[in-house]
Structure 1
Amino acid sequence: MINVYLPSNSLQGAEIPFYMLWSRSETIDLIKIEYPTEMEVKEIYNVSEGNFRLENNVLHVNKVDVNGYLGIKFISKLTDPAVEKNLHIVVYREDKVIHREYKSLKLFRPDIKLYNLPHYISVDVQENQINTSNKIKIVNNGLGTAILRLECLDSSDIKTYDPMDIEEFRKKFWSGVERKTRKLNEKFPEYSQLLIEFVEMGKNPPLFKKSDLERIKRLFSGLIKALDENEEFLKDFANMILTTYFENISIVTELESFLIYLKSIYENKIILIDAVNVMKVSTTPMKLKAKLYTTDFAYNEYKPIELDDITIVSNKEVELPVYLLFDFGIPERGVGENGH
């Protein structure tokens, strides 16, 4: 019996594992795997150089090092937001087909579309509530989660920055975590490097670059592994985070609108980096000129969205949270991209 494994779906640009298992007593002379043009072979396991060849999107394996296993790591290319492709696997013994199988795979990615780009946004401040009219409507039509970051241009009248209360919370929180990790380092010296990197990342948040995202992924992969393998470390680490958080939570004001925004993240697969950053707006009309950059969990880069020449005016001076500029909901029926 030959067993073939391939995940049923994968984010485009991500690594895709594939493997075959069979009895070591079974003789196999040739394995042919035909894969779609949207994929390429990144690594082959248990096969020595000279025992395989790639030709026209077909992998030919003449011999494995240890009988009974073949592993392949594919990687997919960016294509349409959602496509379904097939892999064709054929196994031969003495020039006869002994196994034939098709495996289907759905390749997906985020598909960010701009549905409304207003020329004018009005801000209405009433006591502790801030309302914005005619928001920038962004919709993710794809299945993958999109990670967005707003960057104001030099020519923009309006700039974004950390709000004082959030910045104060961040500094005090990470200062507290840094103090507490010293005890953890003494108790768990094998995890000291992970803890040092964790604190460094918190004190100096990474930029929105592929290298930074890869560093975050490596750090948290190592941290999750450590927490999974050592229950005592898990308890002490969680206790450190929670106690430090509650020591400083009084600094942060929770807003109903922010909870609504968080709900939209889950439902619409859009994460806005630095969503609680603010921009100062007033009764004097000011121009916002910015770009909205997009990536995903496979670090794919997409064409930025131009947010140019938006006038923002408020009934009073206020620090406007960035997330209040956006509507990430499902577009109304009949409304096309760019509001048409």
Structure 2
Amino acid sequence: MENSYKFFQNTQCEFFPCHKVEKVENFNCMFCYCPLYREERCLGNPEYVISRKGQRIKDCSNCLLVHQPEMYDMVIGRLQREDELLHIDLRKLKTQVKERLMQITHINEIDADMKYEHQINIDRILDGVMKDMSGSCAVDVLLQEFAPECICPGYFTFCGKKIECGILTQLDISLIDKGYIYAFHAPVVDLENTGSVLDQYYMEAFQVACIDVIRGWLQGYLERKNSVYEKKYCSPSFGPGYYGMGMEAVPELLGLMDASQVGVSWNGECMSPKMSLVGTYLIAGEDVFEIDSDCRDCIGHSGGCEFCIKH
């Protein structure tokens, strides 16, 4: 192959080729040091060894991915990504999911005997769903950062398009450092073959509980992520259907990211899968997110509610 912006060989290098290959003429030296080495989930399939200092490090001796000419575009595409893909293990959040599920279904408000029976059913459903989930029982979440210049009084603006969000009129946006858009969907369950109507009800409540718990987990994660050097605060999730953002914002927000990475899409009428969510979080150096509880379920009326009018 001839040298180009995608392919280069340094045959005079004392290590050339630095991996055992069958066709030396196709060995690409463009990425001499793998630019994806520091990524926990890179494109390759590395092995891990323990160094003499006791550190777990990658051993890429058997990985040829970045040296294959046809992989250039994929590597560059990965480097140009501005999003973050999280894998949240629901097994580690099982207690929180169960607690939220019991709140949603009001089980704690019934008499002791019935409560015990319903708790057994909930445990059975939780164990069954997590056992049936493929892989590591994880929910994938896509996060994408955006600049504070996108945050305006009463709306977000992306590429000249406004996304109304009433709660932004209640915040001191000058103190906000950045924001994040997120997308994910709840575990997909087979409601039609679940069994009784009560089991179906619990399964749907389980999906809602997962969404609520993951949103809370993300808020804590982003607060920790941005507080490495100094304390930062993360807002609740602001998104379509609450905190003054209308449902028409769903396709606008999804259009700003590649939500297909986490299996979320827009079919022209609604998100797919059914239990999908998209929204935003904001980060500030001060706790400016003390918000009136009435705003939490605001669906973004054009005229504003009495609270907005008064304030």
Q: Same fold (TM over 0.5)?
A: no
Which structure has more relative contact order (CA 8 Å, sep 6+)? It is: 1
Tell me the TM-score normalised to structure 1 length: 0.22
Greater share of strand residues, 1 or 2? 1
Greater share of helix residues, 1 or 2? 2
